[in-house]
Structure formats: structure tokens, C-alpha cells
């Protein structure tokens, strides 16, 4: 898919900047009306300062599609960073981290593999990447307090007042079509909006200045911008990556007799586990467990297991041994990253259960043993757990 041409990206940016500027002015007036004045730090005021005694959301602080969608579209082009829609949808009130007055980091999550993307970005005013995220965080602060849904859901930025989900392709596309149809001067605006084409158009602008594409390495950036046939190129690369991850873990997973306590120190359950481990023809470290089926399905040994990491905690073929401590730590960190950076998945997915199982399992090991886990092993474990969580949980 080709990106929008530079003049189309410029036209889209100009239209969205007008809409965001109008929101900025409206929010500024709402703050002044609610606070009685406009202090220098008006964008840093807490919701408790702006609506201290209100039991319902003040009308001036409601947010609508007419405000949120232009900000989302603009984030896809500002500073030529070109994040995809999934990353934009994942932004929360904690996504911005200022490093100076003119720069900062924006943290989001890729939908395909839940890779956490921490992007350095300019923060020089409203129409800089971090500057716009700062404003959206401030302008939605009162509305988010009055959602009263859950801690994680209430941190998400791009949810209109009264809605129960983050804005996605369908409402954004519908809104765009209505705006273009009503525009007196379309200025070459496309009839429909495509975040893929928008992202690529912005990325091409940035590429000429030496910028990287958010969430892509050098090789995949070249592929992405080459307009080659994506299924022919990307799928084999993805499969090769998954295979190398699996093979690396197969190669390094063995148990030695020195790791197993003496028979007279074991309780009946531990004795059964020891016997099962010793009798296994092959053992595979699957991140959160030592699998005595060597990663094969407990239902049909002819097939690889597709149950995912949560099932490993209840499967009779999975055992928690010292070898999997790094993977358990990784599972805790991975699930906490989901909670912090992708509250929707935390609310609707299985991450809370993974966190609870992994944390309780770690508590059964001596603290000194957990603290001694090598950082490189934990990093490898996080990649394995992420792959298993998203790629295998729906197969069986």
C-alpha cells in the first residue's frame, strides 16, 4: 500500500490542526470558567482543582469524537513519527514522560505482538508529538475521573464521554467521511481516511530526514517503505523469527540431577513431580513451566501445544522448577506492562490471571534464588511469554 502524497498529508494535517486548535481554545475557556482564572500552569491542573465539588461531569469538560478523532489523525503525522493506529489507541494518561522542556518520550503498544514502544519525540508546543499528547491528557482529565469504570480503563485517552471503548477504524472512518462531505474546500482531501497510508506518508517524509519508523527495525523499515508485496516478504520473516525463538529455548532446556532435592526431603506431590520429570523423554522450558511433553499438546502429542502460558499453571504436564524462575519473572513484568500500557487488554484479556499465577509461583521459591535470576534470561523469557500469550492461546 502506497502512502498519501506529501500534499495530501499536508492538507490532512492543516485540517486537523484547525480542529485541535478549536478544542484547545474551548478547553482553555472551560478551565477559566471552572477555576475562576487562568493560572500559568492551567494545563497541569488536576481534575480535583477543576471540579472539586461536582457529582456529575461538568458539560464543559466532556469530550467528543469531533475533538478526539482529529487529535488521533494528527498524531499519525506530527513530527513525521508515523505511529500506527494501535499505538495511538493504546496511549494513556501515563504515556508521556518529559525529558526536558522541548523533548520527551511517548510510550504505546503495538497490537500485533504487544511490543512496548517508547519513542523519543519533540515537545515544542501543541503541534509537536509530545505536546499534543500532553494536551489530550490534560483535556480529558476531568472526563476520565467521572468515567468510574476501572482504574485501567479510566487511564485511556481516546474514549468519548459516555462511550465504553477506544475509538477505532469504523467510527473514525465514518467521522472523516462526514467531515469531508461537509467541507467547503476539500483541498485535495481523500474521500476516506487510511491510517496505514497516513502513517506511510508521514514516515516517507521523515525517512528523507533520516528518521526511523516507530516499532520497526532497519530491515523492516525498508520493506515497509518499499511498497513490496507484504505477505510475500513479511510472513516468512515473522515465521523465521518465531522458529528461532522456539529453537533457542528448545536447545537450552535440560534438567540435571543436581537441581532435584533428595527423595527424603520431598512431600508426596513433589515426589510425583520428580518421578514425572525423570520419566519424561524430553523437557521444554516454555517460560512459565518445564513441560514434560516437550512442548507438545497434552491432548494430542502429535501436535504442538496451543494452550498458552496460563494453561501451564493448571496442566498436569507443566512443572515449576528453578530453571523457569526467569520466565516467571518475565511473565510478571510482561503482564504489568500490559496493565500500564494497554489497559484494554488488562480489562478484557487474560493478563491479570497470568500475573496472579506467576506471582504466586514465584513466592514459592526462596527470595535469594529469585533475585539471582540473570537479566538476560528474564529478557529472553519475556519474549517467549509474549509470543506464547498472543500466538498460541487460541489454537487448542
Check residue 113 and give its pLDDT: 42
In degrees rounded to 5, what are phi and psi of residue 51? Answer: -140, 60
pLDDT cut 90: percent of the chain above it:
21
pLDDT 10s digits, 328-339: 999 999 999 888
Q: Are 172 and 71 in contact (CB under 8 A)?
A: no
pLDDT at 376 over 70: yes
Q: Does the pLDDT value for residue 354 go beyond 80?
A: yes
Alpha carbons 251 and 53: distance in angstroms, whole number: 62
**Per-residue pLDDT at 237:** 38
Say how far apart CA 156 and CA 149 lie, in whole Å: 11
Apex 389 CA angle, 279 and 240, nearest 5: 85
**Range among 131-145, 224-238, 315-329, 357-371 with highest mean pLDDT value:** 131-145
pLDDT of residue 292: 82
Give the count of beta carbons closer than 10 Å to the beta carbon of residue 320. 22
Phi-psi region of 80 (alpha: psi -120 to 50; beta: other; left: phi over 0): left
Predicted local distance difference test score (pLDDT) of residue 344: 79
pLDDT the model gives residue 229: 32
Closest CA to 255 of 321, 316, 327: 321
pLDDT exceeds 90 at position 185? no
Using the structure block, give the residue that is written with the C-alpha cell 474521500: 191
Residue 217 pLDDT exceeds 70 = no
Count of C-beta atoms within a 10 Å radius of residue 127: 18
Which of 267-271, 331-335, 347-351, 386-390 is predicted with the least confidence, judged by mean pLDDT? 267-271
- Determine the length of the chain: 396
CA 322 to chain CA centroid, Å, is 30
Mean pLDDT of 220-239: 38
From residue 187, alpha-carbon distances to 11, 12, 71, 262, 289 in Å are 6, 9, 19, 79, 58
Which cell goes with 298?
Answer: 497434552
**How does pLDDT run across 70-109, given as a tens digit for each residue?**
999 999 988 877 788 888 898 888 888 766 666 666 666 5
pLDDT in the model for residue 247: 38
φ, ψ dihedrals at 305, nearest 5°? -70, 135
Categorize the per-residue pLDDT at 18 as very low, low, confident or very high, splitting at 50, 70 and 90. Answer: very high
Q: With 50 as the cut, is the pLDDT of residue 149 above it?
A: yes
Tell me the average pLDDT across 272-282.
74
Q: Give 137's pLDDT tier (boundaries 50, 70, 90).
A: very high
What letter would DSSP give residue 2?
A: P
Helix (H) or strand (E) run with residue 98 in it: strand 96-98
Kindly compute the dihedral angle of the four CA atoms of residues 354, 355, 358, 361, in this order, to the nearest 10 degrees.
-120
Residue 276: its pLDDT value, please? 77
Binned at pLDDT 50, 70 and 90, residue 241 comes out as very low
Min mean pLDDT across 20-24, 57-61, 217-221, 233-237 is at: 233-237
Reported CATH class of domain 6-228? mainly alpha
Distances (CA, A) of 8 to 60, 192, 283: 33, 12, 56
pLDDT for the residue 270: 66
Model pLDDT, residue 120: 53
Average pLDDT of the segment spanning 300-319: 80
Q: Is the pLDDT of residue 178 over 50?
A: yes
Return contacts of 357-364, CB within 8 angstroms, 24+ apart: 357/288, 357/310, 357/313, 357/331, 358/288, 358/313, 358/328, 358/329, 358/331, 358/332, 359/332, 361/288, 361/313, 361/320, 361/328, 362/325, 362/328, 362/329, 362/332, 364/320
What is the mean predicted confidence (pLDDT) over 55-70?
A: 94
* Per-residue pLDDT, 196: 86
* Residue 19 binned pLDDT confidence (cut-offs 50, 70, 90): very high
Tell me how far apart the alpha carbons of residues 12 and 145 are, in angstroms, rounded to a whole number: 32
214 has a pLDDT exceeding 50: no
Q: Which pLDDT belongs to residue 73?
A: 95
Element (H, E) at 73: helix 65-75
168: confidence class by pLDDT, cuts 50, 70, 90: very high
Sequence spans of domains, the chain: 6-228, 236-391
37-55: average pLDDT: 87
152: Cβ contacts below 8 Å, ≥ 6 apart: 339, 343, 344, 346, 347
Tell me which residue of 118, 117, 137 sits closest to 126, measured CA to CA.
137
The answer on pLDDT for 271 being more than 50 is yes
Position with higher pLDDT, 157 vs 35: 157
Residue 53 region by backbone torsions, left for phi larger than 0, else alpha for psi between -120 and 50, else beta: alpha
Of 149, 129, 109, 31, nearest in space to 390 by CA? 109
Query: Is residue 233's pLDDT more than 50?
Result: no
What stretches of 164-263 show up as alpha helix (H) in DSSP? 169-182, 195-207, 218-225, 230-251
Amino acid at each position: 500500500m502506497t502512502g498519501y502524497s506529501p500534499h495530501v498529508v499536508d492538507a490532512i494535517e492543516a485540517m486537523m490542526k484547525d480542529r485541535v486548535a478549536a478544542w484547545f481554545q474551548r478547553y482553555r475557556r472551560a478551565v477559566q470558567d471552572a477555576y475562576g482564572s487562568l493560572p500559568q500552569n492551567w494545563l497541569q491542573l488536576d481534575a480535583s482543582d477543576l471540579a472539586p465539588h461536582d457529582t456529575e461531569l461538568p458539560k464543559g469538560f466532556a469530550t467528543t469524537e469531533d475533538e478526539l478523532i482529529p487529535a488521533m489523525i494528527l498524531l499519525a503525522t506530527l513530527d513525521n513519527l508515523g505511529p500506527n493506529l494501535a499505538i495511538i489507541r493504546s496511549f494513556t494518561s501515563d504515556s508521556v514522560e518529559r525529558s526536558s522542556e522541548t523533548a520527551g518520550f511517548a510510550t504505546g503498544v503495538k497490537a500485533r505482538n504487544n511490543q512496548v514502544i517508547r519513542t523519543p519525540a519533540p515537545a515544542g508546543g501543541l503541534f509537536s508529538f509530545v505536546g499534543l499528547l500532553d494536551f489530550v491528557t490534560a483535556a480529558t482529565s476531568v472526563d476520565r475521573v467521572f468515567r468510574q469504570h476501572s482504574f485501567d480503563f479510566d487511564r485511556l485517552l481516546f474514549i468519548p464521554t459516555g462511550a465504553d471503548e477506544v475509538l477505532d477504524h469504523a467510527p473514525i472512518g465514518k467521522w472523516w467521511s462526514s467531515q469531508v462531505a461537509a467541507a467547503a474546500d476539500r483541498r485535495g482531501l481523500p474521500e476516506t481516511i487510511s491510517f496505514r497510508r497516513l502513517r506511510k506518508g508521514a514516515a516517507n517524509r521523515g525517512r528523507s530526514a533520516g528518521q526511523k519508523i516507530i516499532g520497526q527495525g532497519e530491515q523492516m523499515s525498508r520493506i515497509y517503505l518499499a511498497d513490496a508485496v507484504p505477505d510475500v516478504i513479511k510472513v516468512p520473516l515473522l515465521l523465521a523469527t518465531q522458529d528461532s525463538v522456539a529453537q533457542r529455548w528448545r536447545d537450552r532446556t535440560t534438567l540435571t540431577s543436581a537441581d532435584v532435592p533428595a527423595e527424603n526431603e520431598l512431600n508426596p506431590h513433589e515426589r510425583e513431580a520428580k518421578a514425572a520429570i525423570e520419566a519424561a523423554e524430553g523437557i521444554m522450558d516454555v517460560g512459565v513451566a518445564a513441560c514434560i511433553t516437550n512442548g507438545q499438546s497434552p491432548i494430542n502429542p502429535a501436535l504442538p501445544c496451543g494452550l498458552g502460558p496460563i494453561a501451564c499453571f493448571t496442566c498436569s504436564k507443566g512443572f515449576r522448577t528453578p530453571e523457569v524462575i526467569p520466565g516467571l519473572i518475565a511473565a510478571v513484568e510482561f503482564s504489568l506492562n500490559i496493565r500500564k500500557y494497554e489497559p484494554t487488554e488488562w480489562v478484557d484479556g487474560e493478563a491479570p490471571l497470568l500475573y496472579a499465577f506467576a506471582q504466586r509461583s514465584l513466592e514459592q521459591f526462596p527470595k535469594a534464588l529469585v533475585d539471582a535470576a540473570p537479566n538476560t534470561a528474564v529478557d529472553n523469557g519475556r519474549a517467549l511469554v509474549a509470543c506464547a500469550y498472543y500466538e498460541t492461546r487460541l489454537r487448542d
